[in-house]
Amino acid sequence: MHISGRVPHDDFREGFAVGFQLIQGTAVVPPAAAREPDEVADTTRFLLGVRAGIAAAGGKLS
């Protein structure tokens, strides 16, 4: 999976990949992204993806 150099504020799947690789490293291929939430409030789809990716990689969010 290619991760672009820009921050795609509306791309959940790219956020998921970034979050997963923050925990597991960039040499690990992220799994398929979790199901994207239907509604987004007070954040971006990209950041929701980052949070979901971190959780899927076994990371903890406070």
pLDDT tens-digit readout, 3-39: 556 666 788 999 999 999 999 999 988 998 878 888 7
Kindly state the DSSP code that residue 55 receives in the 8-state scheme: H
Give me the domain span that covers residue 60. Answer: 10-27+43-62
- Considering the entire predicted model, what is its pTM? 0.78
Query: Which two tokens mark 9?
Result: 């504020």
60 in a domain, yes or no? Answer: yes
51 within some domain: yes
How far CA 33 is from CA of 15, 19, in Å, comes to 9, 11
Q: Which pLDDT band holds residue 41 (cuts at 50, 70, 90)?
A: confident
Number of domains, the chain:
1
